[in-house]
Structure 1
Amino acid sequence: MNYLKITILLIGICLLPDALQAQNIELSGFIQSDSGEPLSDVNILLNDEIGTSTNKFGAYKIELEPGNYQIKLSHVGFESVSKEIMLTADTKENFTLSECSIQLKDVMVSVDEKKNLQKISKIDINLRPIQSSQEVLRIIPGLFIAQHAGGGKAEQIFLRGFDIDHGTDITLSVDGMPVNMVSHAHGQGYSDLHFLIPETIEQVDFNKGPYYADQGNFNTAGYAGFKTKSYLDKSSVKLEGGQFGTLRTVSMIDLLDKKEKQDLYFASEFYLTDGYFESDQNFSRINFMGKYSTRLADNSLIEASASTFTSSWDASGQIPVRAVESGMISRFGSIDDTEGGETSRTNLNLQYLKPIDDQSSLSHQLYLIDYKFNLVSNFTFFLEDPINGDQITQSEARKIYGYKGSYERDDRLAGVDVFTTVGGGIRYDDVNDIRLSKTINRKEVLFDYARGDVDELNFNAYVSENMQFNSRFSATASLRYDYFVFNYVDKLQTNYETQSEERGILSPKLNLNYKLNQSVNLFAKGGIGFHSNDTRVVVAQNGEDILPKAYSSDIGSTFKPFPNMTVNAALWYLFLEQEFVYVGDAGIVEPSGRTERKGIGVSVRYQLLDWLYFDTDVNLTDPVALDEDEGNNNIPLAPTFTSIGGLSFDFKNGINGSLRYRYLDDRPANEDNSITAEGYFLLDAVLNYTRPSFQIGLSVENILDEEWKEAQFETESRLRNELEPTSEIHFTPGTPFFARASLTYFF
């Protein structure tokens, strides 16, 4: 008998007792909040050992042997419920949970590792109210950001040893709509989240690695999906002001006043600041959003939302170290202060979630995005053109049309709970006049380096099977297929010609979970992800390096060493067939060889006292370029050690706030590590006094007033009076001590 037969026999012996159990009684029901909203992912535990959770409709179902049971319900932010029931026949038990303060003792470790991280996200959002659009990304454990163009440009992202630039290796979405822009004027995967009003965020679904079938392009280092609120607990108006001419207003108005099974609210944000640079940023941003939700008689959910956002700014750009050290400029000065940009985005989104029966459901989503972008930069100053300078302008106008759909079904086959998801979608990007131009003083175009139209189409389909063999062991096997069509028309060519390439990719994934006991869940994950290349590069290279794969694996655990502490830890490895590097002055993304990364990540959440919470995320990574010689194989700007954390407090008298730190270690700025990008340690603080009808707040960034470099690059440049170019660190100075006060009125 070979090893395969022995393995199958042993698995069969282990599962036989579950298959033979006489589970012929069904306990089911519905769980909602005080406001009548269904609650998903409520933990349900019977006799401290048999568990399940509610689905997205707030429903639950579990098969049991006849007998007496102690049922316990827990959900983050809600009071726990315990009840004794006697089961002699199929029974329905409905529950209503009341909101309360966060208690980590109520967080139960699940056999589903993804749900464990969602609970961490829920805790973070409740304990760390997001103060700005930059904080939207900082809510993701282990993720670092840097801003380097006046506040209006998308942030630079660091995660799992990746300098992701603006989104090459992380999938971002809001209410199911994509944030990453394929074949973008400023770089592949460009992700601008500034259209999202921070106060509207209800939850963040995030995870690291390419292990999830519903995540496609750019899902290598991880993904994050932001969900906005379906309804408002109360209306509010917020006024915030601070140093550097900063003013921000936010309004969130409930328009239906708790009408049964219908909700409609409107939110707006207006933001102005001059910034802390010597040349004013003249930054302005305005957001509007409206969202309607209704539940039909069959518990179907319809959500329709519309939002629009526009932003403009001036920027001082990245400055060379030598200009500051020589006294030519201060660290808040500039070489070319005519940089800046304008951008806008309008979204229409319709989602329909329908239960078919007790075991299955359908979801549909349609979205339309209208997007415009114009960015003026000068990376090298007078390197190429000693007379006019090297200023460039990148611009585009695009529309995105998309559909997503899925079918989910929950079955029990031979004693095994099987949850099946079949889904798919289509995304079409119609990009008009994508352009890279040589400009002067931000308004005069000398000539175009590149100009054309991009059409990019992505079909995808996936199937995922989650099998829970017993209360301890589950496995999820998934398979995803993506097919791309890349079309480009070069407007600088004399003759009209559509250059086209097509390619498909198959991405298998496997997740294993074993619940050792009520406090410890072990997991192992493996899978393949990918990131696509820019259409302009794809057609120029005749289809080579279109969809390089990422092979990744994780081994780790979510556990509770104490009732008031939750820990998530993982050892991981990721191999990437082709690393992409953004070349700013050429406006393209070019391949730079195979890479590998391995590391460890730890997230800790600890409730020290009823009113005091501690959290920390620590990430250690070893990134290596595989096609380079030893000593010359560093990946420029890839982070090797990061940590984010802090203390949050919430007194019953209404005083609440936090003290938070950010730490980024020194890292190589080039391949041979002869130039170093300096790390930093920062402290930020928030203090609020909250009452039922108002809140007074004070927030301070960089309370120690550290001098730090936020974004750093090794760049070859030449200043106006220099005869020879110099390659060195160019940086954007980080925020100095920056205080803001706010007043919020609730009604």
Structure 2
Amino acid sequence: MHISGFLKMASPAAMALAIGLGGSPAVAAEAAPPQESAEAIVVWGRAQAQIGIATAGSQGVVGYADLEKRPILRVGELVETVPGVIATQHSGTGKANQYFLRGFNLDHGTDFAGFVDGMPVNMRTHGHGQGYLDYNFLIPELVERVDYAKGPYSVDAGDFSAAGTVRFSTYRQLARPFVEITAGSNDYYRGLAALSMDDDAGGTTLVGIEGLASRGPWVLDENHRKANLLAKYSRDDWSVTAMAYHARWNSTDQIPLRAVEDGSIPRLGYIDPDLGGRTTRLSLSGDAEIGDGTSVNAYAIYYQMRLTSNFTYFAADPVNGDEFQQRDKRGIFGGAIRHHWDGATAGIPTIFRLGADTRYDLIGRVGLYPSVDGRRRDPIRQDKVDEYSVSGYGEAELALGGGVRAILGLRGDFYGYDVDADISANSGLGTDAQLSPKVALAWAAAKGLEFYANYGESFHSNDARGAAISIDSATGDPVDSVDLLVRARGAEIGARVEGARFNASLVGFWLKLGSELVFVGDAGTTEPNDASKRLGMEFNAFWRPVDAVSFDLSAAYTRARFSGTPSAVDRIPGSVGFVLGAGAAIDLGDGLSAALRVRHFGKAPLIEDGTVKSQPTTLVNLGGYKALGPWRIGVDIYNLFNARDADITYFYESRLANEAEPVEDIHFHPVEPRQFRVSLRRSF
């Protein structure tokens, strides 16, 4: 599968080794990684001014210094730089993370929109789950900036943006070429090399290559193998980026609590040894400034996934078991154009913004299959799907005087699909459309103080197979189809304070999702869900008391309930109520620095009456770094206090091989135990 041959032949150590070449040390201005010198200018994204720029209290930016010295166990944890977001895992490392934000269990990405260099990452009509958001193709050291916005208030964000939107931007240029190798617990090996070079034509070429191999802490060898490549050529007003990613892994999925308590398996054990997956992602994208205030971007993506899972073991099929396999193979093509200009509305200074987006998913195969010992059998359903969308928006930002800005926006989205199913009754064509108004007020009441009020509507798309379905592929029973687009409405009030060394924001929000039916990829059919509403508050702060020390804190509380259901059964399973993230970074001088991160998420109901709940999880990570001229040594300790908490918890029926009937039980995926990683970097 493209580069799988390389992965098969390479030993863990050889695959993790990358070789760097020298190049020009020329560096872009404020966002470049700091040089190891006394004259370094360290840019903290969290310290960048947002008053007069942001249109909501929950909007912000994360920059290089926020990311550089931050112990990150998994790539997906990059999203935890967004205050209030939690990224966990219930399966193998190569699978997309599980995300939590604003009282949502976002599964693998529903209602959380993600972009990298303008390319959408969420997968529509995906083999495993709608909105599948897999960030494993990112190389963390090459991420320059993270822009985020929460709630449905941003006019340039459409599908999956109800809870929030996060946009990653990668570097055009590096301060210095470097090579880094990392080794750690559980046979973890990683190699990374990156460089940027200027040419005589005024362009810059950046190349980064990463290889990784890991056994993992589980009883079952995870055998995780990953290779990543990023190549970018850029000039002042345009750039072209190529990315290539391939990974394979074995999975230890969530396990039943009863099997651990009776000694059948250890806490890091497994039930089914044949689970796992592989993913390939290739992309080519470009962006350009084509005139005063006009920008465009375009992308083409090839994607392929195979995933084998088994959550209920022998509940449905006592003979062969309930193992199943999901496959996805597609091309994605799209682009966007943006234009803004200064003008006036009835004599009021106004910034106008217009934009349009289009996307086409050519899905050659999306399928669900029973499997035995990891080998798929005849499909439960297998489809080809064409899905496309065209979107446009307009926005006017009016300077009303007295420090007041009013932002009025309207977004329109049109979606179409053509499902070619193996059961003709589940084939079909269809379209859906939605208008989404947005309005915001921002009042700079005093120097360093701004208040915000927002209202907006957005949506998430449902799986197109669910919009065309009429027959359950497994049982043959008639089923209801789903609406392709499901509306979300939200409102927010907030405040932001900014000083020379301190900034903070406080917001209160309300969010409501319409009644919906959801297509469940794991079952190949639809499942009813009620409407829901969420009320919550978020606090975010960043403080640099002196140049060498910084602290950050984010805390969020959400009350999530189903709408229109009796109060005794209105809890939303998996809706985490309280989330806290905190960190400290210190420069101890003489090239020595350290970072400490704390991540906590509280209990959540696991069933609608709230009688079964998950337990809170708290993790502490510690990193220490020493610069010695062009060398840097890093030591990261994950789960410093060796907590035995759960990364994620579910409650449902399953049946083990020795059980006569299915049993309702808690199923959990433990956090990874304490582990160490040591890295050595050489800059040129």
- TM-score under structure 2 normalisation? 0.90
- Map 1:303-322 onto structure 2 (within 5 A): 303-322=239-258
Aligned equivalents of 2:506, 2:34: Cα separation in 1: 24
Aligned equivalents of 2:40, 2:56: Cα separation in 1: 20
What amino acid maps onto 2:287 in structure 1?
Q
Q: Does 1:404 align with 2:336?
A: yes
The alpha carbon displacement at 1:355 in A equals 3.2
Q: Does 1:347 align with 2:283?
A: yes
Aligned equivalents of 1:676, 1:230: Cα separation in 2: 46
Q: Does 1:378 align with 2:300?
A: no
The alpha carbon displacement at 1:37 in A equals 4.6
Q: Does 1:649 align with 2:586?
A: yes
Q: Does 1:323 align with 2:265?
A: no
- TM-score under structure 1 normalisation? 0.83
What amino acid maps onto 1:167 in structure 2?
G
Spell out, residue by residue over 1:690-743, the C-alpha distance to the aligned partner (whole angstroms, 9 max, x if none): 244121000011010011111211121000111111112111111100110000
Contact 1:130 1:199 (C-alpha < 8 Å) held by counterparts? no
587 and 683 in structure 1: CA distance in 2 versus 1, 3 angstrom threshold: farther
What amino acid maps onto 2:448 in structure 1?
S
What amino acid maps onto 1:233 in structure 2?
A
1:14 maps to none
Contact 1:579 1:595 (C-alpha < 8 Å) held by counterparts? no
Does the residue aligned with 1:631 lie in a helix, a strand or coil? helix
List runs of 5+ in structure 2 lacking aligned partners: 1-24, 471-479
What amino acid maps onto 2:497 in structure 1?
F
1:57 maps to none
Q: Does 1:450 align with 2:381?
A: yes
2:475 maps to none
The counterpart of 2:466, out of the listed 537, 556, 576, is 537
2:270 maps to 334
Aligned equivalents of 1:271, 1:670: Cα separation in 2: 38
Contact 2:26 2:174 (C-alpha < 8 Å) held by counterparts? no
Q: Does 1:435 align with 2:367?
A: yes
1:719 maps to 656
Does the residue aligned with 1:686 lie in a helix, a strand or coil? strand
1:594 maps to 531
The counterpart of 2:194, out of the listed 236, 252, 257, is 252
**% of aligned pairs identical?**
30
The alpha carbon displacement at 1:675 in A equals 1.4
666 and 207 in structure 1: CA distance in 2 versus 1, 3 angstrom threshold: same
The counterpart of 2:145, out of the listed 187, 195, 203, is 203
Q: Does 1:706 align with 2:648?
A: no
Which has more radius of gyration?
Answer: 1
Spell out, residue by residue over 1:133-152, the C-alpha distance to the aligned partner (whole angstroms, 9 max, x if none): 13322211110011121101
2:12 maps to none
The counterpart of 1:265, out of the listed 196, 206, 230, is 206
Aligned equivalents of 2:189, 2:29: Cα separation in 1: 37
Contact 2:482 2:518 (C-alpha < 8 Å) held by counterparts? no
Q: Does 1:424 align with 2:351?
A: no
Aligned equivalents of 2:140, 2:44: Cα separation in 1: 24
Aligned equivalents of 1:595, 1:485: Cα separation in 2: 26
2:6 maps to none
498 and 150 in structure 1: CA distance in 2 versus 1, 3 angstrom threshold: closer
545 and 251 in structure 1: CA distance in 2 versus 1, 3 angstrom threshold: same
103 and 590 in structure 1: CA distance in 2 versus 1, 3 angstrom threshold: closer
Does the residue aligned with 1:324 lie in a helix, a strand or coil? helix
Does the residue aligned with 2:569 lie in a helix, a strand or coil? coil
Contact 1:538 1:544 (C-alpha < 8 Å) held by counterparts? yes
Q: Does 1:618 align with 2:555?
A: yes
685 and 321 in structure 1: CA distance in 2 versus 1, 3 angstrom threshold: same
The counterpart of 1:487, out of the listed 413, 418, 425, is 418
2:678 maps to 741
Spell out, residue by residue over 1:298-333, the C-alpha distance to the aligned partner (whole angstroms, 9 max, x if none): xxx110000100000011221100000000000111
Contact 2:228 2:243 (C-alpha < 8 Å) held by counterparts? yes
- Map 1:463-502 onto structure 2 (within 5 A): 463-470=394-401, 472-493=403-424, 498-502=427-431
- Map 1:40-439 onto structure 2 (within 5 A): 100-102=41-43, 107-108=48-49, 110-114=51-55, 120-122=61-63, 125=66, 128-129=69-70, 131=72, 132-256=74-198, 261-295=202-236, 301-356=237-292, 361-412=293-344, 416-439=348-371
Aligned equivalents of 2:280, 2:581: Cα separation in 1: 31
Spell out, residue by residue over 1:613-666, the C-alpha distance to the aligned partner (whole angstroms, 9 max, x if none): 111110000000013211210000011001011211123421112111111111
Contact 1:104 1:563 (C-alpha < 8 Å) held by counterparts? no
What amino acid maps onto 2:318 in structure 1?
P
1:514 maps to 443
Number of residue-to-residue matches in the alignment: 647
List runs of 5+ in structure 1 lacking aligned partners: 1-33, 41-74, 79-97, 296-300
Does the residue aligned with 2:66 lie in a helix, a strand or coil? helix
327 and 544 in structure 1: CA distance in 2 versus 1, 3 angstrom threshold: closer
105 and 218 in structure 1: CA distance in 2 versus 1, 3 angstrom threshold: closer
Q: Does 1:523 align with 2:465?
A: no
637 and 532 in structure 1: CA distance in 2 versus 1, 3 angstrom threshold: same
Aligned equivalents of 2:679, 2:533: Cα separation in 1: 45
Coordinate RMSD, CA, aligned: 2.4
Aligned equivalents of 2:349, 2:173: Cα separation in 1: 33
Aligned equivalents of 2:204, 2:59: Cα separation in 1: 25
